């Protein structure tokens, strides 16, 4: 498992009410184990909402597609996190 925090546009995501094109079983099947979206800070979170995801590499890539992440910096960082986890031997069979 690896953990990655996506930063998504608050207007597009709908602050805590964003609907994904997947149901819970789809997420689990893809390798997503947990998703944490803070709600206790209200409008203090600003324009971008942190969405922390714990998943396999397949699950993290799946979730990035669901969020429609196009930011090259976030995608590059995701690749770096996955490569580091792979180098540690955390999920060799999942790539």
Q: Tell me the sheet residues that pair with 50.
A: 7
Q: Which of 37-41, 42-46, 59-63, 67-71 holds the top average pLDDT? A: 59-63
Is the alpha carbon torsion for 89, 35, 20, 48 positive or negative? Answer: negative
**Global model pTM greater than 0.85:** no
pLDDT at 87: 85
* Confidence check: pLDDT of 95 > 90: no
Residue-range definition of the domain harbouring residue 76: 2-94
- When divided into structural domains, the chain yields a total of 1
Please state the rounded mean pLDDT for residues 27-45: 81
């Amino acid at each position: 498992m690896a953990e990655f925090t996506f930063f998504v546009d608050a207007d597009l995501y709908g602050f805590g009410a964003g609907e994904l094109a997947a149901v819970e079983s789809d997420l689990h099947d893809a390798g997503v184990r947990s998703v944490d979206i803070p709600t206790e800070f209200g409008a203090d979170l600003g324009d971008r909402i942190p969405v922390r995801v714990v998943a396999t590499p397949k699950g993290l890539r799946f979730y990035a597609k669901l969020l429609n992440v196009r930011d090259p910096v976030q995608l590059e960082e995701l690749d770096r996190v996955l490569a580091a986890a792979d180098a540690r031997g955390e999920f060799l069979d999942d790539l």
